[in-house]
Amino acid sequence: MTGALPSTAPGRSGGPLAGLLVADFSRILAGPYATMLLADLGADVVKVEGPGGDDTRTWQPPVRDGVATYYLGVNRNKRSMALDLKDPGDAALAQELARRADVVVENFKPGGLARFGLGYDTVARTNPGVVYASISGFGSGAGGAALPGYDLIVQAISGFMSLTGDTDGEPYRAGVALFDVMAGLHATIGVLSALNHRHATGEGQHIEVNLLSSALSGLVNQTSAFVAGGVVPFRMGNSHPSLFPYEPLPCADGDLIVTAGNDGQFRRLVEVLGVPELADDPRFGRNEDRTANRDELRPLLVDRLRTRPKLDWFRDIIAAGVPCGPINTIDQGVAFAQEVGLDPVVTVGEGAAAVPSIRNPITFSATAPQYRLPPPRLDQHGQELRRWLAEGTPDG
């Protein structure tokens, strides 16, 4: 491709995807999360926004320096260009960007970009090697194309909410847009796979990802219980349908998540708790027995755990090689990641424009993610990008 911005352009750096140009016509979460991951790995991402900007710019509070932290969380390492696709001149610039791009990412309603000359078939005629990723709520088929694709709707329709909450209580949503994030990850996997195919064959292709399919795939054992076993799962609060213990258990000063994923871990757990005989009890020796007899086992474990504070138990149970952990707030979770050496926070940009951000979760031995550009202001790079698209000689 000839589309990549030149090495003299501000913010360009190395990385495994250096030299790739991504035209990002997505907004809100699933698409922007995917393109941010690509940008972290070195791709040049041009974020095309409507005149009003990405919706998440206004999703506040909370804010940092007047900008919604929601927007800041998924838009680093990008350049912003505001285009009104209903304007023929702006549409022509968008078409030229798509012609030069290695990757196009969009999450309009299926077919929504076609009326601006930006659908896959049109783009591929002038850019046959393009990897074009479309993210929707329910796919491009006749039954799903017109349905709105918000994460909360998919949490409800997929069955996820039927699994979340107290057994006798109301269904609950997750505390984050779980399937938007998951669809963004699936889109990223699809893009990277298609780029590898293009490297081998020279052929581009159209990738489609939808939130409902991502949700059903991401529900893993729960959807498998139905399609493979004919069992419809139900809400169990914080309990696990196939493991015990695998839930919060009360200590002297609050709950501790205690898990025993196999029989060996359970034996080590009860040794730490001072009741080693439970591992030899025929009701509890095997996982399937513990799961079937959880109502008898739970009070025996709780009797021991209630004798000490949760962090004391946490220290001793972890030392025995049994997974467990306190239920933290977000700030405590970030602090814990710091304590164990994960360095979760990076600063993107310099001076007054610097923005703290959560580190890309992938560690490479040779091509580390890089944090070159803070999330852009609306149309921050519009002038230089318009010049580049119009003349082919950007002002670096």
Per-residue pLDDT of the chain (396 residues; tens, 9 = 90+): 445 564 444 445 589 999 999 999 999 999 999 999 999 999 999 999 999 999 999 999 999 999 999 999 999 999 999 999 999 999 999 999 999 999 999 999 999 999 999 999 999 999 999 999 999 999 999 999 989 889 999 999 999 999 999 999 999 999 999 999 999 999 999 999 999 999 999 999 999 999 999 999 999 999 999 999 999 999 999 999 999 999 999 999 999 999 999 999 999 999 999 999 999 999 999 999 999 999 999 999 999 999 999 999 999 999 999 999 999 999 999 999 999 999 999 999 999 889 999 999 999 999 999 999 999 999 999 999 999 998 854 443
Could you give the C-alpha distances from 55 to 60, 74, 111, 378, in angstroms and in order?
A: 10, 13, 20, 11
Residues 6+ apart with CB under 8 A from 207: 131, 132, 133, 134, 187, 190, 191, 194
Say what angle helices 211-218 and 178-201 make with each other, to 10 degrees: 100
Q: Which residue has the tokens 């079937």?
A: 292
Q: DSSP character for 315?
A: H
- The structural domains of the chain, ordered by start, are 21-218+346-391 (3.40.50.10540), 246-339 (3.30.1540.10)
Say what angle helices 263-273 and 310-319 make with each other, to 10 degrees: 130
pLDDT tens digits, 214-271:
999 999 999 999 999 999 999 999 999 999 999 999 999 999 999 999 999 999 999 9
- Quick count: other Cβ atoms within 10 Å of Cβ 184? 28
The pLDDT value given to residue 392: 58
pLDDT tens digits, 100-117:
999 999 999 999 999 999
Q: DSSP character for 343?
A: -
Q: Are 131 and 198 in contact (CB under 8 A)?
A: yes
Q: Are 45 and 124 in contact (CB under 8 A)?
A: no
Residue 291 identity? T
Q: Helices (DSSP H) in the chain: which residue ranges? A: 30-40, 69-72, 88-100, 120-126, 151-157, 178-201, 211-218, 220-229, 263-273, 287-292, 294-305, 310-319, 330-339, 382-391
- Phi and psi torsions of 266, nearest 5°: -65, -40
Could you give the C-alpha distances from 138 to 13, 146, 175, 221, 280, in angstroms and in order?
A: 36, 8, 22, 21, 50
Q: At 221, list the tokens.
A: 């054992």
Could you give the C-alpha distances from 170 to 59, 63, 226, 232, 236, in angstroms and in order?
A: 27, 31, 22, 17, 12
Q: Are 194 and 207 in contact (CB under 8 A)?
A: yes
What residues are labeled active site? 180
Report d(CA 74, CA 142) in Å as an integer: 31
pLDDT tens digits, 53-92:
999 999 999 999 999 999 999 999 999 999 999 999 999 9
What's the number of CA atoms in the CB half-sphere (13 Å) around residue 294?
Answer: 16
